[in-house]
Amino acid sequence: MKIAIADISMPKAGVLVVGVLAEKGLTPSARAADKACGGLVRRALRSGRFTGEKGQWLEILAPGKLRVARLVLAGLGKLEKLEPASFEAVGGDAVRRYATSGETDLFLAADAIPKSPVDAGEAAARLAYGARLGSYRFDKYRTKQKPDEKPSLSSVTVLAEDSVNAKKLYKPLAAIADGVFLTRDLVSEPANILYPATLADECRKLTKLGVQVEVLGVAEMTKLGMGALLGVGQGSARESKLVVMRWNGGKAGIAPVAFVGKGVCFDTGGISIKPAGGMEEMKWDMAGAGAVIGAMAALAGRKAAANVIGVVGLVENMPSGTAQRPGDVVKSMSGQTIEVLNTDAEGRLVLADAMWYTQQRFRPQFMVDLATLTGAIIISLGHEHAGLFSNNDELSERLTAAGKGEGEPLWRMPMGDAYDRSLKSPIADMQNIAGPGAGAGSITAAQFLQRFVNNVPWAHLDIAGTAWSKADKPTVPKGATAFGVRLLDRLVRDHYEGA
Ligand code: BES
Ligand code: MN
Ligand code: ZN
């Protein structure tokens, strides 16, 4: 989909979307369109229930003297409640409404709305951003599509009062959208195509954005003593990998911030095998790694003035003659030993070594890990919030604010010694699942991770409920959401750039 920003003018074909505020408040472009078609907008507003509420749409086909095929009114809601996200939603919804409509060109009018809290340039950039995000499709494996299911829309043009300014504001957003798309592509990809080695190859492609990429294989990880991560991968025919990505956009000598991702390319559960129903979903058990990779792409793509490390632990959790068994004891890079009572609690084993390595090597200011870690977080929070677990209030507040601002909300969960005690093992330093009756599966998983955190501000985001969506949202079509990419980018932008 081509997304462009141009100076405002009346389009001569295609679909033109103009905004209407609550209580039928015409924006300047709606008024101009009304005038050009001899009052059809006002007439249309007299019949039907469209009032300009947020999320309402009204389509006028063949609008009289106007040469466009369809004139569309988009409800913007109350003037005083306008925010950047309002325009993203209109852009995203518009693209999805017309994607397979038979129309090829979509025009979104972004004029200066008097007294709007969002200035015209920002509104235009956000319309473009929303359109781009909402246009995402994963169609690469469709070889046959019925004509009426085929996407027809090929170009979106945002019509701005000052296109030069709007383009300038859109540029960094386009880089973030590229990161989001990369993550959605990686998370959507099936596990016969995307496995540790091929996912590492995808990471290597970030070098063209200026990211330094290193890939460690089993030999290097064995030398480092990563018995926890390697134990998870040992049942797979695919070699485990650990990828280190570095973006040095900040001043030399400033400690980096670090993001660590769970990259289980497929999680069968291992010998503690999962039931067949729904197991295919476990291709997206690498969504934490996917988000870290996309965030690195976004940050490098917009040349963020910060030093950022991204580390992803890539494995496939398979049952086989070489697989780890329930009861096996492994030694992690930290030196701590772990009794693996359930091979399906594998993400924490991967993160234990990936996080330890990250801290030891890079001494980051803080570390955030992202992981589709527990089914239990879906019980707690459903699909609306990701779980946030942290040893640091400031980092938690910053993450929560970043998530709120980007439509990727977090909810902080408690931690504490009483939960930690449930990980006591009779024969090793800890076991990888809590003892019977402990409950709180997401919290005990976070407690496990915290045992591998070494005096550094740390937060864990359990994204098992938010990485994949079964319903379309304006800027997040169903499927892989790329949850975390916008949030991490925003965290860096708001607190760790330029200083
Ligand atoms: N990848 C799963 C968690 C998951 C479940 C993600 C559903 C997305 C949707 C994780 O590796 C896992 O299997 N966790 C177990 C832990 C249990 C064995 C303590 C779980 O949540 O059941
Ligand atoms: Mn598992
Ligand atoms: Zn898993």
d(CA 485, CA 294): 6
Ligand 3 centre and the CA of 130: distance in Å? Answer: 31
Q: Phi and psi at residue 73, in whole multiples of 5°?
A: -100, 130
Ligand nearest to the CA of 380: 1
* pLDDT in the model for residue 300: 99
* pLDDT in the model for residue 493: 98
**Does residue 285's CB lie within 6 angstroms of at least one atom of ligand 1?**
yes
Q: What is the mean pLDDT of residues 359-374?
A: 98
Tell me the pLDDT tens digit for each residue of 165-179.
999 999 999 999 999
How many other CB atoms sit within 10 Å of the CB of residue 170? 26
How many other CB atoms sit within 10 Å of the CB of residue 335? 9
pLDDT of 149 > 90? The answer is: no
- Residue 274 is a catalytic residue: yes
Tell me the pLDDT tens digit for each residue of 203-248.
999 999 999 999 999 999 999 999 999 999 999 999 999 999 999 9
Mean pLDDT of the chain: 98
* pLDDT in the model for residue 276: 98
Atom of ligand 1 nearest to the CA of 285: 1
* pLDDT in the model for residue 498: 80
From 274, 331, 412, 473, the catalytic residue? 274
pLDDT of 253 > 70? The answer is: yes
Tell me the pLDDT tens digit for each residue of 274-331.
999 999 999 999 999 999 999 999 999 999 999 999 999 999 999 999 999 999 999 9
Residue 277: both structure tokens together: 């129903």
What percentage of the chain reaches a pLDDT higher than 70? 100
From 70, 126, 238, 348, the catalytic residue? 348
- State pTM to two decimals: 0.98
Ligand nearest to the CA of 263: 3
d(CA 299, CA 211): 10
d(CA 298, CA 402): 15
Q: What is the mean pLDDT of residues 249-257?
A: 97
* pLDDT in the model for residue 148: 86
**Does residue 465's CB lie within 6 angstroms of at least one atom of ligand 1?**
no
pLDDT of 499 > 70? The answer is: no
Q: What is the mean pLDDT of residues 74-103?
A: 98
Alpha-carbon distances of 468 from 198, 290, 291, 384, 480, rounded to whole Å: 21, 12, 12, 11, 5
Substitution site in 265, 338, 374 for ligand 1 pocket (most atoms within 8 Å of beta carbon): 374
**Residue by residue, what is the 3-state secondary structure of 476-489?**
ECCEECCCCHHHHH
Cβ(243)–Cβ(176) below 8 Å: no
Give the environment of ion ligand 2: residues with CB less than 5 A: 267, 344, 346
DSSP calls for 37-99: TTSHHHHHHHSSS----TT-EEEEES-TT--SSEEEEEEEE-GGG--HHHHHHHHHHHHHHHT
* pLDDT in the model for residue 147: 86
Q: Phi and psi at residue 467, in whole multiples of 5°?
A: -75, -20
Alpha-carbon distances of 263 from 288, 365, 389, 499, rounded to whole Å: 6, 23, 19, 31
Atom of ligand 1 nearest to the CA of 342: 18
Cβ(486)–Cβ(407) below 8 Å: yes
Burial, 385: exposed, middle or buried (Cβ in 10 Å; 0-12, 13-18, 19+)?
A: buried
Tell me the pLDDT tens digit for each residue of 105-123.
999 999 899 999 999 999 9
* pLDDT in the model for residue 396: 99
Atom of ligand 1 nearest to the CA of 272: 18
* pLDDT in the model for residue 314: 99
Task: Report the sign of the C-alpha dihedral through residues 368, 371, 373, 376, in that order.
Answer: positive
What percentage of the chain reaches a pLDDT higher than 90? 98
**382-385: long-range contacts (C-beta < 8 A, 24 or more apart)?**
382/465, 383/465, 383/466, 383/469, 383/470, 384/409, 384/465, 384/466, 385/409, 385/410, 385/411, 385/465, 385/466
**Does residue 464's CB lie within 6 angstroms of at least one atom of ligand 1?**
yes
* pLDDT in the model for residue 111: 86
For the chain, how long is the longest CA-to-CA vector? 83
d(CA 318, CA 12): 57
Confidence of residue 471 (pLDDT cuts 50, 70, 90): very high
